[in-house]
């Protein structure tokens, strides 16, 4: 099956509208035809594609079509956009100058149960679960591998709910009944059991590029990656560490046939080519365990890769392959300092920045910018991030001057390398093992960054940031290290709303269940502290 979500455009009657404040679809999928002679049959392939498309598109009509989530526009409710907002703007990596409702609360760690963007993210995840549940109820016998993939996607949606909100509603069917709430521990147990159960039916792992059968679909490597992520954070989710299991499943991914992409070309580094307009075709997809597919003519969204590009650039930075330059998100000084520990980052172009850092991953732009974020509401207060682009590494022309072709690699094999290094170090009393050092060295060698004789756990945390900044995972890593909410010594600029940084309450390590959902479902108990 060629896969660009082309068949995800379903009749509207077959889908529910996930309105803010509801975690069930209140019977909207139970449609009876007016003509009694009409036989209603589910479009299994269409539903299957929709389960994936929810991660990459706002609704059935692409960027400018109807949005599946009510009361917010399609761009705002995009999965990647809100994954970024929730997990990057709240941390030491990103800050945004926009005044949209909810942005300052992210910047300064002061959200509540009425936060509109968190509500949109929450409902985007539950809409995905509803579509997956509908597929499993109507089409589970269509194809065993497809069914396993839908169960994997449902587990992925639930993983993000567990990570962000902890104790959440837990519907496994489409129903008008208000779902019961489950605890984080119970959801963790379900996720582990569910993923292990479907593993035999997932397809064998194989690195792919656009045009290959199955590009954009999850296989066993994606399942192993999600398990390794689950186990890496198990102590936070359950109180019991699972370092050996995290290392075991990360190693499965490392040996799966997916590989670190190391072949830069045409003046672009291998790392940079992971985030370019032709990343589905330029060879870098050998690292893409789960890419979210984008195409400037057929698969468009304001809230996926276009958001990551347009929100981080303005016109003075040069050509990024799109006419959209929104000038909003940029780096906090703390991120840039990961590459320039003494605050010596130059006010330079991206090319000169990389040269100065001696690390291909230092994709910042500092011309006419200040390193320190003195004024959060000004885009040039802080260095710009030039990581994502719609430019083609081979000089080719993007499909559209506005919308972009850059796929977003939601899961990359590099994650397995750092998971393995961290998990084996923690299982070894905090000392990095020889095998763990080799994994870190492989990441740094790809970036042409000097390796070290040894690494500490804090070194690994910094490496997580250097490798994955702006990819939507930083909050989780800081929480695992005890460096997010609560009484800890780790500060960053504007943490807690104070320029030099201050602590904020540990209850903010999980978000508040949206007030609309609390009001609609009497089964729910709000997370502590809200």
Structural domain boundaries enclosing 93: 1-186
Cβ atoms of 269 and 363 closer than 8 Å:
no
Band the pLDDT of 3: cuts 50, 70, 90.
low
Distance CA 183, CA 189 (A): 10
Residue-wise pLDDT tens digits, 490-521: 999 999 999 999 999 999 999 999 999 999 99
Nearest CA to 77 out of 63, 91, 90 is that of 63
Residue-wise pLDDT tens digits, 281-317: 999 999 999 999 999 999 999 999 999 999 999 999 9
Distance CA 391, CA 282 (A): 12
Nearest CA to 291 out of 9, 65, 55 is that of 55
Helices 144-165 and 220-232: crossing angle, nearest 10°? 20
- Domain-located, residue 305: no
Specify the DSSP element, H or E, that contains 516: helix 515-520
CATH code where residue 20 lies: 1.25.40.390
- Give the largest CA-CA distance in the chain: 75
- Domain-located, residue 88: yes
pLDDT confidence of residue 306: 98
- Domain-located, residue 138: yes
pLDDT confidence of residue 40: 57
Number of domains in the chain: 1
Chain centroid to CA 155: 14
Mean pLDDT, the chain, integer: 93
% of the chain surpassing 70 pLDDT: 92
% of the chain surpassing 90 pLDDT: 88
- In our burial notation (b when 16+ CB lie closer than 10 A, e otherwise), range 292-327 reads bbbbbeebbbbbbbbbbbbbbbbeebeebbbebbbb
- Domain-located, residue 67: yes
Between 462 and 42, the more confident residue is 462
Residue-wise pLDDT tens digits, 108-151: 999 999 999 999 999 999 999 999 999 999 999 999 999 999 99
Distance CA 286, CA 257 (A): 8
Band the pLDDT of 42: cuts 50, 70, 90.
confident
- Domain-located, residue 158: yes
Residue-wise pLDDT tens digits, 175-215: 999 999 999 999 999 999 999 999 999 999 999 999 999 99
Band the pLDDT of 5: cuts 50, 70, 90.
low
Res. 461: pLDDT tops 80:
yes
- Domain-located, residue 206: no
Q: Cα–Cα distances in Å, from 319 out to 157, 221, 353, 386, 527?
A: 35, 35, 17, 11, 45
Residue-wise pLDDT tens digits, 159-170: 999 999 999 999
pLDDT confidence of residue 69: 87
Distance CA 335, CA 470 (A): 10
- Domain-located, residue 84: yes
pTM of the model: 0.94
- Domain-located, residue 160: yes
Please list the alpha-helical segments (H only) found in 284-431. Answer: 305-310, 333-336, 350-357, 413-427
């Amino acid at each position: 099956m060629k896969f660009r979500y082309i068949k995800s455009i379903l009749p509207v009657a077959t889908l529910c509208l996930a309105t803010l404040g509801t975690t069930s679809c209140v019977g909207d999928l139970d449609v009876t035809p007016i003509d009694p002679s009409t036989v209603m049959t589910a479009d299994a392939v269409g539903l299957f594609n929709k389960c994936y498309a929810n991660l990459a598109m706002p609704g059935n009509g692409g960027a400018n079509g109807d949005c599946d989530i009510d009361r917010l526009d399609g761009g705002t409710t995009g999965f990647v956009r809100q994954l970024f907002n929730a997990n990057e703007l709240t941390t030491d990596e990103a800050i945004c100058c926009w005044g949209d409702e909810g942005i300052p609360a992210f910047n300064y760690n002061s959200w509540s149960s009425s936060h509109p963007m968190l509500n949109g993210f929450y409902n985007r995840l539950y809409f995905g679960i509803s579509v997956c549940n509908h597929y499993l109820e109507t089409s589970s016998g269509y194809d065993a591998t497809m069914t396993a993939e839908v169960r994997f996607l449902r587990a992925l949606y639930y993983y993000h709910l567990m990570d962000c909100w902890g104790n959440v509603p837990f519907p496994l069917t489409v129903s008008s009944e208000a779902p019961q709430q489950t605890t984080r521990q119970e959801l963790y147990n379900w996720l582990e059991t569910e993923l292990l159960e479907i593993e035999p039916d997932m397809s064998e792992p194989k690195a792919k590029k656009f045009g290959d059968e199955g590009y954009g679909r999850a296989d066993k490597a994606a399942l192993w990656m999600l398990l390794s992520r689950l186990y890496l954070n198990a102590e936070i989710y359950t109180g019991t560490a699972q370092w050996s299991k995290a290392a075991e499943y990360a190693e499965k991914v490392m040996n799966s046939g997916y590989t670190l992409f190391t072949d830069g070309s045409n003046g672009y580094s291998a790392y940079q080519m992971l985030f370019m307009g032709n990343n589905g075709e330029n060879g870098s997809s050998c690292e893409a365990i789960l890419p979210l597919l984008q195409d400037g003519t057929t698969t468009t969204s304001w809230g996926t890769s276009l958001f990551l590009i347009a929100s981080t650039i303005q016109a003075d930075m040069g050509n990024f392959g799109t006419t959209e330059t929104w000038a909003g998100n940029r780096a906090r000084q703390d991120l840039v300092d990961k590459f320039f520990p003494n605050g010596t980052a130059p006010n330079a172009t991206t090319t000169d920045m990389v040269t100065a850092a001696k690390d291909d991953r230092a994709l910042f732009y500092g011309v006419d910018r200040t390193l320190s974020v003195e004024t959060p509401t000004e885009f040039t207060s802080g260095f710009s991030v030039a990581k994502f682009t719609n430019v083609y590494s081979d000089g080719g022309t993007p499909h559209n001057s506005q919308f972009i072709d850059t796929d977003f690699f939601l899961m990359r094999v590099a994650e397995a390398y750092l998971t393995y290094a961290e998990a084996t170090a923690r299982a070894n009393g905090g000392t990095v093992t020889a095998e763990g050092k080799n994994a870190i060295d492989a990441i740094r060698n790809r970036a042409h960054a000097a390796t070290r004789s040894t690494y500490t756990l804090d070194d690994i945390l910094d490496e997580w940031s250097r490798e994955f900044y702006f990819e939507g995972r930083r909050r989780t890593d800081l929480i695992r290290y005890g460096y997010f909410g609560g009484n800890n010594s780790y500060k960053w600029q504007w943490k807690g709303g104070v320029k030099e940084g201050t602590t904020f309450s540990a209850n903010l390590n999980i978000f508040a269940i949206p007030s609309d959902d609390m009001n609609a479902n009497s089964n729910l108990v709000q997370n502590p502290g809200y």
